[in-house]
Amino acid sequence: MEIALLILRRIVQPLIRPGSTSKDVTYICPFTGAVRGTMTVTNYRLYFKSMERDPPFVLDASLGVINRVEKIGGASSRGENSYGLEIVCKDVRNLRFAHKPEGRTRRSIFENLMRYAFPVSNNLPLFAFEYREVFPENGWKVYDPILEYRRQGIPNESWRITKINERYELCDTYPAILVVPVNIPDEELKRVASFRSRGRIPVLSWIHPESQATITRCSQPMVGVSGKRSKEDEKYLQSIMDSNAQSHKIFIFDARPSVNAVANKAKGGGYESEDAYQNAELVFLDIHNIHVMRESLRKLKEIVYPNIEETHWLSNLESTHWLEHIKLILAGALRIADKVESGKTSVVVHCSDGWDRTAQLTSLSMLILDGYYRTIRGFEVLVEKEWLSFGHRFQLRVGHGDKNHADADRSPVFLQFIDCVWQMTRQFPTAFEFNDCFLMIILDHLYSCLFGTFLCGSEQQRVKEGLPKKTVSLWSYINSQLEDFTNPLYVCYANHVLYPVASMRHLELWVGYYIRWNPRMKPQEPVHSRYKELLAKRAELQKKVEELQREITNRSTSSSDRAGSPAQCVTPVQTVV
């Protein structure tokens, strides 16, 4: 991964405009103490390099990762290192720098940070619109919905592809291409949309290649306190059930705790009544909302950075409830996958609006069921399909370029998904083509604003902003460095279904991500690196063996041609691999 990052820095460098530089700044390192050096802020990154250490200490952070910047002390502040800046980051870090009051450099550094870390708040373009590197592959073409549905066997006698939303008029947060039951005409889809929150009707995410059981996703029904019903919506879910001949039942998985679903009735939302939807069983998965998750991550940051309290580590970790939330998400995805695989039953998945917890559950259950999504390119397709095209609100949840750090819409929804994927890679180390570095580079560029992949909050917005033409896809970069992100232990089992254990006993904190900034907690060299070296050595030795075997064969052939001459006899050589 280090090589990949060095290459990325080299190709970004020419685009970086000179910013403000302060030559006598002290970085207050929470691990090694105060470090004097030079601090530079450009239009893309914050760069600090020590003056007195050999090798020099270097701190390099993209401005997109900054959550907020605060001034510390005033011009009259006394005491060493009492005047400066504190930079709070989205990736757990807090960076503190001390300036000399008489130097008057803090102001220019602060102004440049506020200008370039929060371009949206300053009516400036994000850096992704300036980054124009050309890679061998165009990552914007990784996902083609028609090809992906064709891979799944769609269209068929039960499901059809519709372009009713090609102008995003049916639902402005859904993709242009949707898959719906074949017996539901487009006009009827409009009536179903009027009964679903934000028009997010049930549409197909995945179909089982044998049983034809399906995973469909949507938003909550607008039943309200009066218990409204929609004949079109009821017929629609019946059609989903009927498309699977192996089951006469359908499961509706509501991601929310039941008390939250009931509370949503007061806002006009709610959940499906089993009386109205015949042969349907409603299951609540008890996954909490974005506000609970945001608070959980805040608590996690407090215990992992900068210092870890060893004596109370386990109780402190438990108090964050982070792993408990991860467990509930994984357990929900496992229940969905099990109903489809073992129960051969179709499922409908939703939360409130269908773009947060729903995306977590559908994508994880598809990862459990379909080995294609466990490849590097398949995972890219999964993210493009279930997260990007179906309208996860990346702009609001991450806050790209926005200085309003207290925005209640921010939440680590996508981070939790990647954490769940990492938990699965721990339990099934040979089932995934990608390694930890792949997951970490995705998270780093979730924040960086270097690539256009995670910008905006819907397919419609990305098309309107012209992202595929004006920005570079993260997948372009990753697919040009595949060796850095490949798991050498990977074994391809295309039809193998995974059953992760969603138990607290089998889950652990992702130390390699959350605590990677602490030099005392750096994990040992990944076994993948050593394994790659051994594989390379084996390949080298295998090549030599094959060369020797060819040489022996050639000698044997030559010997048989001159069988009449005893002097030409060759003693066979036996090789052991």
CB 218 within 8 A of CB 354: yes
CA angle 519, 523, 527 (to 5 degrees): 150
Q: Is 353 annotated as a binding residue?
A: yes
Q: Which residue from 301, 299, 364, 376 is spatially nearest to 328, judged by alpha carbons?
A: 364
CB 207 within 8 A of CB 340: no
Q: Is 449 annotated as a binding residue?
A: no
Q: Is 516 annotated as a binding residue?
A: no
Q: Is 242 annotated as a binding residue?
A: no
Q: Which of 89, 171, 218, 351 is catalytic?
A: 351
492 is catalytic: no
d(CA 88, CA 75): 22
Q: Is 150 annotated as a binding residue?
A: no
Q: Is 109 annotated as a binding residue?
A: no
d(CA 186, CA 12): 46
d(CA 111, CA 382): 39
Q: Is 264 annotated as a binding residue?
A: yes
Q: Is 265 annotated as a binding residue?
A: yes
CB 15 within 8 A of CB 98: no
* Ramachandran area for residue 33 (φ above 0: left; ψ -120 to 50: alpha; else beta): left
Residue type, 510: W
Q: Is 355 annotated as a binding residue?
A: yes
Q: Is 266 annotated as a binding residue?
A: yes
Q: Is 343 annotated as a binding residue?
A: no
Paired with 181 in beta bridges are: 159
Residue type, 151: R
CA angle 180, 336, 372 (to 5 degrees): 75
CB 200 within 8 A of CB 351: no
Q: Is 354 annotated as a binding residue?
A: yes
Q: Is 565 annotated as a binding residue?
A: no
Q: H/E/C letters for each residue in 197-258?
A: HHHCCCEEEEECCCCCCEEEECCCECCCCCCCCCHHHHHHHHHHHHCCCCCCCEEEEECCCH
Q: Which residues are annotated as a binding site?
A: 264-267, 289-290, 351-357
Q: Which residues are catalytic?
A: 351
Q: Which residues are annotated as a binding site for substrate?
A: 264-267, 289-290, 351-357
